Amino acid sequence: MSANTSMVTEFLLLGFSHLADLQGLLFSVFLTIYLLTVAGNFLIVVLVSTDAALQSPMYFFLHILSALEIGYTSVTVPLLLHHLLTGRRHISRSGCALQMFFFLFFGATECCLLAAMAYDRYAAICEPLRYPLLLSHRVCLQLAGSAWACGVLVGLGHTSFIFSLPFCGPNAILQFFCEIQPVLQLVCGDTSLNELQIILAAALLILCPFGLILGSYGRILVTIFRIPSVAGRRKAFSTCSSHLVVVSLFYGTAIFIYIRPKASYDPATDPLVSLFYAVVTPILNPIIYSLRNTEVKAALKRTIRKTVPMEI
C-alpha cells in the first residue's frame, strides 16, 4: 500500500476535457469572466477604502467579501485557463493539496463572513440605538478575524485529513479543480468513515452560520412588519435584499455539493454546479451589491468625477 501511495505524485484534472472542440471558446469565456470578476470586486475594495460615505460596518464587511471573492476565483480559474490553453491537465500532489486548502480557506471564511453581515443587518434594523456599540470597529475586527481564523482551521483540517489518506493507481479527477468529493473518490479502500467525518464537518461549518443567518433575518422580518409606513418597510428590506441574494446563491450550492454522501456525486452535472459557485458567483456579487445599492453607485460616481476631469 505504501509503495502504491508513493507512486501517485500528480493528478489529472479532466474538467471540460471532453469538449475538445470548444477549448478556445471556453478559454475566452472564462478569461472574460475572470477579468470582470477581479475588476468588479477590486473596484468595490477601492471604493470602500477611499470613500468617506462608505465607512460603516456593512461596507467594512462588503470590502472583505470582495477581497475574498478575488482570492476565491483566483484559486481555480487561472489554472483552468492554463489547462484550456495548453491542453496539459496535470497538477502535482502538493499543488492539488495547496489548491484545495486555499479553496476551502476562502469558502469557509466567506461562510462566516456572510453570517457576520447578517448580524450587522440585524443590529442596524432591530437595535438601531445600540448599533454603534454592537458593531463598533473593534467588534468588526473581531468578527472578521474570527472568520479568517475559521477559514484557516477548515482549510488545514480538511486538506491534511484528505492527503493523509492512501491514494492508489487512479489519479484522474473528474473536475476542473481539486475539490474534496472527486479527490476522495481516488482514495484506496473503504472511505465511509472518512466520508462521514467530512460531511459532519461541512454540515457544522455550513449549517451553523446559515442557522445564524436565518435567525437574524427572522428577527429582521418581524421588525420590518412592525414598521407602520410602507416606505419605511421598503427601505428597511432594501438594505437586506442584496445580502439575501448572495446568501441564497452561496449557501444553496454549498449545501448541495458538500452535505451529501460521496456515492451521490455525479461527474456529469456536479462540475457544472461547481462552475457556478466557483466561477460565476464571484462575478455576481459586485453586480448585485452595486446595482441594488444607491450608496455604492453614488460613491462610484464621485470617484469617476475625481479621476476623470470635467471638460469645460
| pLDDT per residue as tens digits for the range 106-122 | 989 998 998 998 899 88
Q: Return contacts of 142-150, CB within 8 angstroms, 24+ apart.
A: 143/61, 143/116, 143/119, 144/60, 144/61, 144/64, 144/113, 144/116, 146/112, 147/64, 147/109, 147/110, 147/112, 147/113, 147/116, 148/109, 150/108, 150/109, 150/111, 150/112, 150/205
* More confident site: 199 or 290: 199
Mean pLDDT of 76-91: 89
Give residue 33's pLDDT: 92
* More confident site: 86 or 271: 86
Distance of CA 37 to the CA centre of its chain: 12
Model confidence pLDDT, tens digit, residues 259-287: 665 555 565 666 777 788 788 888 888 77
Range of the domain at 30: 10-223
Helix (H, G, I), strand (E, B) or coil at 13: strand
Model confidence pLDDT, tens digit, residues 181-200: 888 888 887 777 777 777 78
Model confidence pLDDT, tens digit, residues 141-170: 999 999 999 999 989 988 988 888 888 777
Q: Do the domain assignments include residue 115? A: yes
Q: Do the domain assignments include residue 251? A: no
Q: Report pTM.
A: 0.86
Give residue 208's pLDDT: 85
Of 91-105, 214-228, 255-269, the range with the highest mean pLDDT is: 91-105
Decide: 66 and 282 in contact? Cβ < 8 Å.
no
Q: Do the domain assignments include residue 170? A: yes
Mention every residue, 6+ apart, whose C-beta is less than 8 A from residue 87: 23
Q: Do the domain assignments include residue 293? A: no
Q: Do the domain assignments include residue 167? A: yes
Give residue 312's pLDDT: 40
* pLDDT(229) > 80: no
CA distance 121 to 123: 5
CATH code of the domain covering residue 95: 1.20.1070.10
**Mean pLDDT score of the chain:** 82
Enter the C-alpha cell of residue 130.
445600540
Q: Do the domain assignments include residue 252? A: no
* pLDDT(305) > 80: no
Q: Do the domain assignments include residue 247? A: no
* pLDDT(2) > 60: no
Residue 164, phi then psi, degrees to nearest 5: -90, -10
* pLDDT(311) > 70: no
Q: Do the domain assignments include residue 234? A: no
Question: How many separate domains does the chain show?
Answer: 1
Question: Would you report the helix, strand and coil content of the chain in percent, each value rounded to 5?
Answer: 80, 5, 20
The pLDDT confidence band at residue 5, using thresholds 50, 70 and 90, is very low
